[in-house]
Amino acid sequence: MEEIKRLLLEEKAALLENIREKTGNQNKLQNDIGDAIDSSVEEQDRELDLLLQDRDQARLKGIENALQRMASDDFGYCDECGENISKKRLMAVPLTSMCINCQSIEERNRLAQNAFSRADYTSQVLSDE
């Protein structure tokens, strides 16, 4: 588990540095905006940076959660069934909180729910016409 903790701490440091760097870049004001195309491209870049920051923030939250589970000795156990999560899986996906079997079940349920929602929406649209 020490190896996983080290990897998580390294990733956390890299994410924090990345977030600081992007925040610093956003605070720089551009005096020469240029034409409408330049402005549009700049706006798209800002939106992409914000999306990436949101992703980084979510990843950082997951790392913090995993580190807290390690501190409380809950790390490495499935939240659903309570069984041990294999070290191989934890090395591949250190933020996981479910064993491969429970994760597979959850993904199948989510896919089934999405398919049901789309079918329900389609039937409503067709019945409205």
Number of domains in the chain: 1
Number of residues assigned to the chain: 129
What pLDDT is attached to residue 29?
47
Does residue 93 fall inside a structural domain? Answer: no
* Residue 67 included in any domain: yes
Give the pLDDT means over successive 10-residue stretches in the chain (129 positions): 92 89 63 67 81 88 94 94 94 93 95 79 58
Task: Say if 111 falls within a structural domain.
Answer: no
Radius of gyration over every alpha carbon of the chain, rounded to an integer in angstroms? 21
Query: Which pLDDT score, from 0 to 100, does residue 114 have?
Result: 85
Question: Would 84 be classed as within a structural domain?
Answer: no
* CA-angle at 99, arms to 75 and 102, nearest 5°: 130
Lookup: tokens for 71: 């501190």
Instruction: Note down the domain range covering 69.
Output: 2-77
Residue 118 lies in a domain: no
pLDDT, tens digit (0-9, with 9 covering 90-100), for 22-31: 776 665 545 4
Phi/psi of residue 77, nearest 5 degrees: -115, 140
pLDDT score at 119: 65
* Inside any domain, residue 68: yes
Asked whether the beta carbons of 3 and 76 are under 8 A apart, the reply is no
